[in-house]
Structure 1
Amino acid sequence: MPTADLPPSPQAAPAARERGDACPGTLRLHAADDGALARVRLPGGVLSADRARALGRAARRLGDGDLHLTSRGNVQLRGLGDGCGAELARALDAAGLLPSREHERVRNIVASPLSGLDGAGARDVRPWLTALDEALCASGPARELSGRFLFALDDGRGDVAGLGADVTVRADPDGGAWLVPGSVRVPAADAPRTALLTAIAFLDAARSHGTRAWRVSELPLPAGELDRLVRDRLTAEGITYEDGPGPAGGTHGGGPPPGIVGGALSVHVPLGRFSARQWEELTLLGATELRLTPWRGVVVPTGAMTAARTAGALARLAEAGLVTDPASPWLRVGACIGRPGCAKAHADVRADAARSLDAAGRPGLPLYWSGCERRCGHPGGDHVDVVAGADGGYRLSVTAAGGRARAVRAPDPSRIPAALAAITS
């Protein structure tokens, strides 16, 4: 099956926003083909066992019963009935999942999910996470951030530093923290505050240039200009900083591997969709919290669990259909919601992805299935895009670092394995 070279991707340009940000939340639902959709922000993906049970009850009572993980470690409830918005908000508010109605869509924070559990990071970023979320919810200017703006708190291992966040704080082995934008090292104690100040510098820059930019990458600024603005703001707020080369960029890895890792157990959720039973199994493990990851996984701190109890818990989760094998091809496959949930989708990409699962282990790159050219939720880094077309077929394309893009068409889903073999050979 021949492949065709694609022209190089054009350099990203500032986006022209004709409308306000319509990103869904808990109080602003999105109308989908399978019912209303709510996106519940969970900073750092951290969820206490009580709050996890409350989410499960809301999904069963008001939605389709399933819980969907996003690429930011948040949760979506789908299939919500008409007029249930007020009841959902009351339930989540009572569970402590709605600390500020004015900030509920801007609490987008990813954090290293194994931080403090396996000894691999430079520091435990959980205190940063708590402090940043509280500062966000207390900030008047932060209410103006879009629902797409993203913070990343990396414990030094480089996992969430590679997710393309708008503001990244990365722990330094010497005890400080590297800030991007700004490209400076600040005292660790000031890390949460500098993250918020950087976001406010972004808002000021967008306002002064008359743009509705939602992400840092959309700002029409010369190279280095936002760094300068951030440094000026830090100076004005009395925060000391020092220049330096900073750490190397983050990775685009797949997150914690399934299994027992340090003081935690880790599982992967196929296509990020929990059934009601799978979610309930997680809440019955006896753990105090869950940590949902940006890679559609869950890390469960085992705390005082014995080795035998931890192994038994992992076995129960595997029996429920969650991935506990680090060699599973599911770790290399992602997909948007597709049909029937999305009106723009041309195919039931999740069903096609499951039917083609054996082929997913062949290429050296992850696969991401999209129901249309919008490719909602597609990952960063090198991967194979499998995009459904209106003719019932798929277009597959892959770009490796330093190489040219290639593409091939599969006229129907049964030809996906052959197309993968052709494009990755």
Structure 2
Amino acid sequence: MSHAFHSSDASALRPSACPGLLRIVPALDGGICRVKLAGGELSAMQALAIANVIDEHASGIVDITNRANLQLRGVKRGHEDALVAALLDAGLGPQNTGHAFADDVRNVMTSPVAGRDANALFDTTVLTRDLLTLLQSDTRFAALSPKFSLMLDGGERLMMLDHPHDIWFSALPHPERSDVLFAFGLAGCPPVVAEHESAFAAVAASDLATFARALVHTFLDLAAPDDTRMRDLLTAHSAQSIVTHAERKSGVHVLRDASIQHWRREPADASRRLGAHRQNDGERRHVGAQPALGRMTSATLRGLAELARGNERATLRMTPWQSVLLTDIDTTNLDATLHTLEALGLATTADHPLTRVIACAGSTGCAKSHADTKADALKLAAHVPDPTQVHLSGCPRSCAAAHRAPYTLLAVADGHYDLYHTHDPRDPNGFGRCIARGLTIDEAADVLQASALPPTDEPFDA
């Protein structure tokens, strides 16, 4: 297969510490190459291609990211061009464009079961394709940060709702309309509970792509040189003025009424990323499983590719919970599929200890990390009480979790962590309230097992 890009196109990208397919950045364990997946989807052929690539040109390890992309670790020095060429030949780069910047801007998060979820209000598949096309085809968007991102929520029961985005859209029914509208907001997440900010306004589904393009252009029109994200722009411009600017630019009529302001998105159910669940056709199932700490080997990828190929119509998708999901599994293949996933070392039920912890690359892969978070998380997992969720972060950058987990262990030295808990309304930012300092993993396990008790008033030093 031929492709429009060459690895030399990386020189046309802006300098950034953010890895991409064309921008391989150094780390302690070698180069990092990030492969962005449209809707998190990966074909069986592409999974096999990545398995071959990481065996030949990298460490044989790939991590699932919290934006449902793949991060290839340990890229060998001198192998960068061959690795990039093989990935592009597998169709894993920007499609139908010759712009070198296009890889950076492919940041649209959707549900991993878009088009399959029986609870969805709207099938976002076509809209997602439209958004990706407009982002990749407008040369002005080369000025966007590689982290600038959009969220498109069709109302699925399985949806990551607490991952902040620069622009978010969420489907909502309207009492006076037969069609589905999309509420939207800037620099945040859809409102789910009463204390969350309300939606700003809404647009018709048919106008969404046009209005999204105008919002991105508005950001670039108004942004100061140091403004890289929408939250930066909101420090100098009101949301009202930004939306009004986009309305004029697009000609799209934005709906504003009390029903939209008071709307709250139905809660999602993250447990549906695991196990088997009926799809909207009433027949087939989507099946999800969790690799340990979101990390897969080439052997795991090959096993997943074989599963996808062995199930007619099945697709393989990554999720923002750093897990994997197979769609369109026939009921006759359900037990065999679950058995194979478990044989590959993946957890398929929420009561599995490895579904309770997430961790960054840690000190074996990142110079900024103060501890080997991957090894410590594996040690801790068996002692974390169900259904407690814990995030281990090697430094304050919180690369493994874009949202604030219920409990966070922040490394302060090798094998020692400060423990944070989210239940503190006085601290809306950061990791939450520090309830213990300098804990070993064994000490952290003891505190977490006692977590049903109210936290102490003051932090303590272990």
Deviation of 1:423 (Å): 5.5
Q: Specify the code of the residue in structure 1 equivalent to 2:326.
A: V
Tell me the CA shift for residue 25 of structure 1: 0.7
Number of the residue aligned with 1:284: 306
2:411 is matched with which residue? 388
Change (3 A) 1:110 1:266: same
1:43 to 14, 38, 41: 38
When the two structures are aligned, how many residues end up with a matched partner? 400
**Alpha-carbon distance in structure 1 between the residues aligned to 2:203 and 2:57:** 45
Q: 1:85 to 1:236 in 2, by over 3 A?
A: same
How far 1:88 moved relative to its partner? 1.9
Q: How far, CA to CA, are the matches of 2:402 and 2:168 in structure 1?
A: 17
**Separation in 1, partners of 2:338, 2:69:** 23
Shift of 1:424: 5.3
Residue 368 of structure 1 corresponds to 391
Q: CA deviation at 1:260?
A: 0.8
Task: Report the alpha carbon displacement of residue 406 of structure 1 after superposing the two structures with TM.
Answer: 3.5
- Provide the residue aligned with 1:243 in structure 2: 256
Post-superposition shift, 1:250? 7.2
What CA deviation, in whole Å up to 9, does each residue of 1:95-116 have, x standing for no partner? 2211253210221111011222
**Deviation by residue 1:77-97 (Cα, 9 ceiling, x = unmatched):** 001011222212211221221
Please state if 1:336 is matched with 2:349.
Answer: no
Q: Distance in 1 between matches of 2:271 and 2:225?
A: 35
Deviations 1:25-56 (A, max 9, x none): 11111100000111111132122222222222
Give the AA of the match of 1:124.
D
1:163-242 superposed matches below 5 A: 163-173=163-173, 174-181=179-186, 183-206=200-223, 210-221=224-235, 225-242=238-255
Match of 1:298 among 300, 317, 324: 324
Deviation of 1:295 (Å):
0.7
2:39, 2:109 within 8 Å by CA — same for their partners in 1?
A: yes
Partner-residue secondary structure (3-state), 2:410: strand
Report if the CA contact (8 A) 2:182-2:202 is conserved. Answer: yes
- SS of residue in 1 equivalent to 2:247: helix
Q: Which runs of 5+ in 1 are unaligned?
A: 1-18
Q: Which 4+ runs in 1 deviate beyond 6 A?
A: none
Check conservation: 2:117, 2:156, Cα contact below 8 A.
Answer: no
Deviation (angstroms), 1:374: 3.0
Distance 1:346 1:161, change over 3 A: closer
SS at match of 2:362: coil
1:183 deviates by 2.2
When structure 1 is superposed on structure 2, of 377-386 and 270-279 the one drifting more is 377-386
SS of 2:332's equivalent in the other structure is: helix
Deviates more, 1:156-165 or 1:123-132: 156-165
Query: TM-score scaled by structure 2?
Result: 0.81
State the AA in 1 paired with 2:167: V
For residue 306 of structure 2, what is the amino acid of its counterpart?
L
Query: Which letter does structure 1 place at the counterpart of 2:353?
Result: P
Q: Work out whether residues 163 and 252 of structure 1, in 8 Å CA contact, stay in contact via their aligned partners in 2.
A: no
> What amino acid is the match of 1:142?
F
State the secondary structure of the residue aligned to 2:413: coil
Larger deviation, residues 339-348 vs 153-162:
153-162
Q: Which amino acid aligns with 1:409?
A: R
- Map 1:15-414 onto structure 2 (within 5 A): 21-99=16-94, 100=97, 101-157=100-156, 159-173=159-173, 174-181=179-186, 183-206=200-223, 210-221=224-235, 225-244=238-257, 245-246=260-261, 247-248=263-264, 254=270, 256-262=272-278, 263-285=285-307, 286=309, 287-302=313-328, 305-362=329-386, 365-390=388-413, 392-400=415-423, 402=425, 405-414=433-442
For residue 348 of structure 1, report the CA deviation from its aligned partner: 1.3
User: What is the aligned-residue RMSD (CA, Å)?
Assistant: 2.3
1:332-383, Cα deviation, whole Å (9 max, x unpaired): 2100000211122222111111111122225x64210012233323341442
Alpha carbons of structure 1 residues 56 and 30: separation in structure 2 relative to 1, 3 Å: same
CA contact (8 A) 1:398 1:423 kept: no
For the 8 Å contact 2:31–2:73, the answer to whether it is kept is yes
Q: Which amino acid letter does the alignment assign opposite residue 53 of structure 2? A: A
Q: Percent of aligned positions with the same letter in both sequences?
A: 29
Secondary structure of 2:289's counterpart equals strand
Tell whether the 8 Å contact from 1:44 to 1:110 is kept in structure 2 after alignment.
yes
Cα distance between partner residues in 2 of 1:315 and 1:392: 35
CA distance in 2, matches of 1:255, 1:136: 32
SS at match of 1:83: coil
Q: CA deviation at 1:59?
A: 1.5
Whichever residue aligns with residue 437 of structure 2, its letter is R
Residue type of the alignment partner of 1:146 = S
Verify the 8 A CA contact 1:197 1:230 in the aligned structure 2: no
Q: 1:423 to 1:217 in 2, by over 3 A?
A: farther
Per-residue CA deviation, residues 173-227 of structure 1 (Å, 9 max, x unaligned), is 3412222238222121222232232122112221xxx33222212225357x234
Taking structure 1 as the reference length, what is the TM-score of the superposition? 0.87
The structure, 1 or 2, with the larger RCO (C-alpha pairs under 8 Å, 6+ apart) is: 1
For 1:177 and 1:82, the matched residues in 2 are separated by: 46
Q: 1:283-303 CA distances to partner (integer Å, 9 max, x unpaired)? A: 11225421211111122112x
| Range 117-126 or range 233-242, more displaced | 233-242
Q: Secondary structure in 1 aligned to 2:241?
A: helix
Q: Is the 8 A contact 2:66 2:320 kept in 1?
A: yes
The CA deviation string for residues 313-347 of structure 1, in whole angstroms up to 9 with x for no partner, is 11101111111112223222100000211122222
1:57/1:251 Cα in 2 relative to 1: closer, same or farther (>3 Å)?
A: farther
